[in-house]
Amino acid sequence: MSSSEDAKTLIETAVRRFLEEVPALEPIKIVAVIELRGRGDVQTYRIEMPGLKVTKGDDPAARVRVETQRAFFNVMAKEAHIADWREAFTYGQAKATGNPQVLQLIERVVAKQEERNRTRRASH
């Protein structure tokens, strides 16, 4: 498996895991770009939803751009939950830029899901 195929698979895994935890984001039509920074190398992938299509390359028209270290992403893709991603963005291990309305929408949907999860745990 080439490193670009590996990265593509990891991105698909990460997005699917995230959508399982935040299903309300699944139908939203969005094009995002993720930049994975390695040792002197940057790999860029385009993510299109709904339907989750990941392709290698940039898209200047993407509404959201996410940047993170490749090694950090590799771990997050396999193990992270919503709270881990929130922490990564809060402390700068991952950075999201782009259309403010789209970023706010994602943030609100994730916050509502976290609230539902807390309410569900409290009632059990």
Yes or no: say if 64 and 30 are a contact pair by the CB < 8 Å rule: yes
Residues, the chain, total?
Answer: 124
DSSP annotation of 68: E
- pTM of the predicted model as reported, rounded to 2 decimal places: 0.88
**pLDDT digit string, tens, across residues 92-118:** 999 999 999 999 999 999 999 999 888
Long-range contact set of residues 99-104: C-beta below 8 Å, sequence gap at least 24: 99/63, 99/64, 102/30, 102/63, 102/64, 103/64
Give the number of domains in the chain. Answer: 1
Q: How confident is the model at residue 21 (pLDDT cuts 50, 70, 90)?
A: very high
- Amino acid letter for position 44: T
Distance CA 5, CA 56 (A): 9
Range of the domain at 40: 3-123
Which CATH number is 68's domain given? 3.30.1050.10
pLDDT in tens, 29-87: 999 999 999 988 999 999 999 999 999 999 999 999 999 999 999 999 999 999 999 99
